[in-house]
Amino acid sequence: MHESMARRVFCIVYREGLYGAKYVWMNIGWWTPGWWEINDPWNNCTVQEVRKAIDLYIAIEPLELSSDPDRSVGGWGTTPQMFLADFELLVQQRGFRQGGKEYAPFAYDATWALALTLNETLRQLRQSGMEERLLQFDYQDGNLTPLFVRNMENVYFVGLTVSVLLAHYLCM
């Protein structure tokens, strides 16, 4: 059911033009390989259109929250258990629908990985006087893409789930 809904969402993404060099989508990564290649009869897009909409999407996988009570996330003094307690309190205070705590840790780690990559890229661009290039970036940019990949390969931090080292997962 989730895969068919994702195909429907990415059909809308395609129809609205929310894809291409200025967009990146993050999606769960545990679905059937080639989940986008099924032609749903009720979907208004072809397989090729859905494929075009998801081009270069980032697949993320859930990981269990670390049970180590001494683990300090990112060195900031927050343990995974403290994060989870804060998350549940925020959900309750804001009146959000209960649930999602199984996804929060990997979303947190993925967000930190992207933020650290962008911070280092911005630092390097500022140092070379090319800071404005980041605002003009698209995926066809043959100069910035390798810089992003190189900086992402060097990301390492203690996350909520694991110690995150992305160099082993990137294959471009």
> Per residue in 142-163, pLDDT tens?
778 888 888 888 888 777 776 6
Task: From 165, 161, 130, select the one nearest 147 (Cα to Cα).
Answer: 130
Predicted structure pTM score: 0.57
Spatial distance between the Cα atoms of 73 and 69, rounded to a whole number of angstroms:
11
> Per residue in 56-114, pLDDT tens?
788 776 656 666 667 767 666 778 888 888 888 888 888 887 767 777 887 888 888 88
Strand partners, 78: 73
pLDDT tops 80 at residue 2: yes
Task: From 87, 110, 118, select the one nearest 28 (Cα to Cα).
Answer: 110
Spatial distance between the Cα atoms of 49 and 33, rounded to a whole number of angstroms:
17
Structure tokens at 50: 């859905």
Q: Measured between alpha carbons, how far apart are the two ends of the chain, in Å? A: 31
